[in-house]
């Protein structure tokens, strides 16, 4: 594989990784603004926990691995997104 082909492949792979990156959801007040995150961004685990597929941004902080269960935020999600 030539260096040019390798470089082109690397650029393509990097651009695809960026396109597939997780969504970032900015919120001003957590968990009060949980309503502003679309239902498509949440998955419900078998134990009833709502898990965010993405990242929330509160001010300058980015938080991943967000899950809610048994609190007011979880009840809001259940009402809004539950089936």
Task: Count Cβ neighbours within 10 Å for each residue of 5-38 and write b for 16 or more, e otherwise.
Answer: eeeeeeeeeeeeeeeeeeeebebeeebeebeebe
Decide if pLDDT at 1 tops 70: no
- 67-76 pLDDT tens trace: 999 999 999 9
Residue 18: predicted pLDDT: 42
- 6-63 pLDDT tens trace: 555 555 555 444 444 578 999 998 888 998 999 999 999 999 999 999 999 999 999 9
Residue 11: predicted pLDDT: 54
pTM of the full structure = 0.69
Q: What share of the chain is helix, strand, coil (3-state, %, to 5)?
A: 40, 25, 35
Residue 27: predicted pLDDT: 92
């Amino acid at each position: 594989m030539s260096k040019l082909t390798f470089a082109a492949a690397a650029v393509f792979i990097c651009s695809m990784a960026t396109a597939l990156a997780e969504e970032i959801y900015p919120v001003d007040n957590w968990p009060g603004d949980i309503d502003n995150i679309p239902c498509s961004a949440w998955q419900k685990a078998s134990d009833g926990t709502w898990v965010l597929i993405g990242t929330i941004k509160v001010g300058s902080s980015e938080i991943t691995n967000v899950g809610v269960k048994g609190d007011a935020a979880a009840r809001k999600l259940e009402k809004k997104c539950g089936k």
